[in-house]
Structure 1
């Protein structure tokens, strides 16, 4: 049994990972989010809710007491500052294992027509901030795994393959359910993908853009 802190616990992928963790494991979950009233706890015996901002280091450090693994499901214009605060808080608390959700394209690793489309859609503030945040995580001494999902769908399917940093990104899309499943696998075996940045896509979805565009 592990004690897992989920940052950004009201996100769609976080909800899916929470549901799977409750169903398949006996881990205890601490759910961290800015507005606790937005969240309904499924299992009060295994879940603790903490209200706070991921750029507030003292609140983060307090939430990290007794935690084994941190899964950060953060994402907005403050992502670089969030990354800096999360790294500093984990260092202060003496916790090493971090699972960090990023974005495809942060290394300009998406090839071909899809890569051009991805730039067109995400340049101008999004890719730049996510790339800066990934650099913060990679420059730390944490046992991180950065996850770079393809474009996300709500399909009820678990089907994915991975690529590593330095390899061309594959595919165009992936289900949120697949990303949640990958996160749960990493939580259940934290020795996997240490200090790796992993692209995740649904197989056989190559093309110029995702099927839902």
Structure 2
């Protein structure tokens, strides 16, 4: 049975991996929602793309109508985006939402890495926590994803931890491709990890801080 899937923020660096994985699936009818089509990988621009604003209720409703699952990979004013997205999905009766957030929003990252993460992302974490609370306070069948520090490694290698089960966050890094693969696993099994917030990291990457090159790639001083 074909699933209608909408990716909001489809030109994000995580979402573009998911775009390609889902376009290869003949059982998926994919719609990509972007603010700027020029930022999409050129091989995606001739597919089903809607140009719109994730803070516009009207734009969101056009894109969400008739969808089975919505995946949002957003940045910027995520609190307003979360409010508008929840309202649009409620109005149109679409229940399944996958939402990308950040590690550390619940102060769930233990030890020295948790301390470093909080120092590196102070205001960012509160904003993403506020957006996550809007999602979790809704009646949607959501999964909130909290990735470790991101890499562009061309690999799929991940493990997950559950906020509902009080599992402490584990590793320090994860590839964007791995996060996308986890998103696709949720789309393939929509009943998995419903109404939970899931940490995603690379097995064996535990430590007091991400590797030097990972910190630099994310714009942080490795000596901080």
Deviation at 1:58, TM superposition (A): 1.2
- For residues 55 and 41 of structure 1, the distance between their equivalents in structure 2, rounded to whole angstroms, comes to 27
How many residues are treated as equivalent by the alignment?
209
Match of 1:89 in 2: 88
TM-score, normalising length: structure 1: 0.94
Of 138, 141, 144, which residue of structure 2 is paired with 1:140? 138
Query: Secondary structure of the equivalent of 2:143?
Result: strand
- For residues 140 and 43 of structure 2, the distance between their equivalents in structure 1, rounded to whole angstroms, comes to 29
- For residues 32 and 42 of structure 1, the distance between their equivalents in structure 2, rounded to whole angstroms, comes to 12
Across the aligned residues of Structure 1 and Structure 2, the Cα RMSD in angstroms comes to 1.3
- For residues 180 and 128 of structure 1, the distance between their equivalents in structure 2, rounded to whole angstroms, comes to 24
**Is 2:129 the partner of 1:127?**
no
Deviation at 1:26, TM superposition (A): 2.9
- For residues 49 and 80 of structure 1, the distance between their equivalents in structure 2, rounded to whole angstroms, comes to 24
- Cα deviations across residues 134-184 of structure 1 (Å, max 9, x unaligned)? 000000000000000000011111111110112211010011111010000
Deviation at 1:37, TM superposition (A): 3.3
TM-score, normalising length: structure 2: 0.90
Deviation at 1:80, TM superposition (A): 0.6
Pairing 1:62-211 to 2, within 5 Å after superposition: 62-76=62-76, 78-123=77-122, 125-165=123-163, 166-211=166-211
User: Please, which runs of 5 or more residues in structure 2 have no aligned partner?
Assistant: 216-224
Pairing 1:3-82 to 2, within 5 Å after superposition: 3-39=4-40, 40=42, 42=44, 44=46, 47-76=47-76, 78-82=77-81
- For residues 111 and 174 of structure 1, the distance between their equivalents in structure 2, rounded to whole angstroms, comes to 17
- For residues 55 and 26 of structure 1, the distance between their equivalents in structure 2, rounded to whole angstroms, comes to 30
Deviation at 1:25, TM superposition (A): 4.2
Q: 1:8 to 1:88 in 2, by over 3 A?
A: same
User: Please, which runs of 5 or more residues in structure 1 have no aligned partner?
Assistant: none
Match of 2:220 in 1: none
- For residues 25 and 150 of structure 2, the distance between their equivalents in structure 1, rounded to whole angstroms, comes to 23
